[in-house]
């Protein structure tokens, strides 16, 4: 286990030295496997912290495409100390940029926020499309469910691939920051403005 490998792992994940050493040991010194191990642990640690109150944080802003797209996003954490640190502030900017630049643009923070009527309508459309293939009913259901899952991943911020690193989702990105800060971090809400687009 070389110092260079540990340093590379730290640079790519932001994890502590001991966590990097353990992950490399568990993955037979394979850097890519160690990254996966640390990300999984990050998600596990994040789920443990998920119930903790988040009444601090910040509002992130991002202006995109020469002033044609603007985003406001509220991200919460547990303490003002973390809200002001570089890790949290960087995350705030990245999340605002994600909402501005992702295609398709997210409409909800998480899957639980998607209204049932939206899911029902899309499922109906996907089933109708799948029926055109003249495949058996069971296959049609699987095709429709697969398309529905992809649709939800596209419209929910936490499920989207991170635009700076498409190997991870926004949920995994936040989990990494939770590991670094030791605090629960939650996206509360966001608003995306597109020049010339008025709400009905």
In a domain, 14, yes or no: yes
In a domain, 171, yes or no: yes
* 101 and 142 assigned to the same domain: no
How many domains are there within the chain?
A: 3
Q: What CATH number did the domain enclosing 148 receive?
A: 1.10.286.20
For residue 151, what pLDDT is reported?
A: 94
In a domain, 27, yes or no: yes
* 73 and 104 assigned to the same domain: yes
pTM comes to 0.69
For residue 21, what pLDDT is reported?
A: 82
Give the pair of three-digit tokens for residue 119: 């899911």
Q: What CATH number did the domain enclosing 175 receive?
A: 3.30.479.20
pLDDT at 137 exceeding the cut of 50 = yes
Spatial CB neighbours of 192, under 8 Å, sequence gap ≥ 6:
69, 70, 71, 99, 100, 105, 106
Q: What percent of the chain has pLDDT over 70?
A: 88
* 105 and 160 assigned to the same domain: yes
Give the pair of three-digit tokens for residue 64: 């995109």
In a domain, 200, yes or no: no
Token pair 């009913």 in the structure block, residue: 137
CA atoms within 13 A on the CB side of 126: 20
* 161 and 83 assigned to the same domain: yes
Q: Tell me the pLDDT band of 8, cut-offs 50, 70 and 90.
A: confident
Q: What CATH number did the domain enclosing 42 receive?
A: 1.10.8.10
In a domain, 180, yes or no: yes
Give the domain extent around 127. 115-154
pLDDT at 199 exceeding the cut of 60 = no
Question: Helices H, strands E: what count in the chain?
Answer: 8, 5
* 64 and 105 assigned to the same domain: yes
For residue 96, what pLDDT is reported?
A: 96
* 121 and 87 assigned to the same domain: no
Q: Per-residue pLDDT tens for 18-66?
A: 778 888 888 888 888 887 877 766 654 555 555 566 679 999 999 987 8
Who wins on pLDDT, 48 or 119?
119
* Lowest-pLDDT choice from 11-15, 47-51, 124-128, 194-198: 47-51
In a domain, 199, yes or no: no
Total number of residues shown for the chain: 200
* 19 and 97 assigned to the same domain: no
In a domain, 34, yes or no: yes
For residue 44, what pLDDT is reported?
A: 46
Token pair 């940029």 in the structure block, residue: 97
* 94 and 172 assigned to the same domain: yes
Spatial CB neighbours of 105, under 8 Å, sequence gap ≥ 6:
99, 192
* 165 and 121 assigned to the same domain: no
In this structure, how many other beta carbons lie within 10 angstroms of the beta carbon of residue 14? 16
Mean pLDDT, range 1-18, rounded to an integer: 73
Strand stretches in the chain, DSSP E? 56-64, 69-77, 161-162, 165-169, 186-194
* 30 and 86 assigned to the same domain: no
* 150 and 183 assigned to the same domain: no
* 104 and 165 assigned to the same domain: yes
């Amino acid at each position: 286990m070389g110092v260079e490998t540990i340093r590379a792992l730290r640079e790519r994940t932001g994890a502590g030295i001991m966590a990097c050493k353990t992950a490399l040991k568990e993955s037979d010194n394979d850097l890519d496997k160690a990254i996966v191990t640390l990300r999984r642990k990050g998600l596990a640690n994040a789920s443990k912290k998920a119930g903790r109150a988040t009444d601090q944080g910040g509002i992130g802003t991002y202006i995109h495409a020469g002033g044609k797209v603007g985003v406001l996003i509220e991200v919460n954490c547990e303490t003002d100390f973390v809200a002001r640190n570089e890790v949290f502030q960087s995350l705030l900017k990245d999340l605002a940029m994600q909402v501005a630049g992702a295609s398709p643009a997210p409409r909800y923070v998480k899957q639980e926020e998607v209204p049932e009527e939206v899911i029902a309508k899309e499922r109906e459309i996907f089933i109708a499309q799948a029926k055109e293939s003249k495949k058996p009913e069971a296959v049609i259901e699987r095709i429709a469910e697969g398309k529905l899952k992809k649709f939800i991943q596209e419209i929910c911020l936490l499920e989207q691939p991170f635009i700076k690193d498409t190997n991870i989702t926004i949920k995994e990105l936040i989990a990494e920051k939770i590991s670094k800060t030791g605090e629960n971090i939650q996206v509360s809400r966001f608003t995306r403005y597109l020049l010339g687009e008025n709400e009905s």
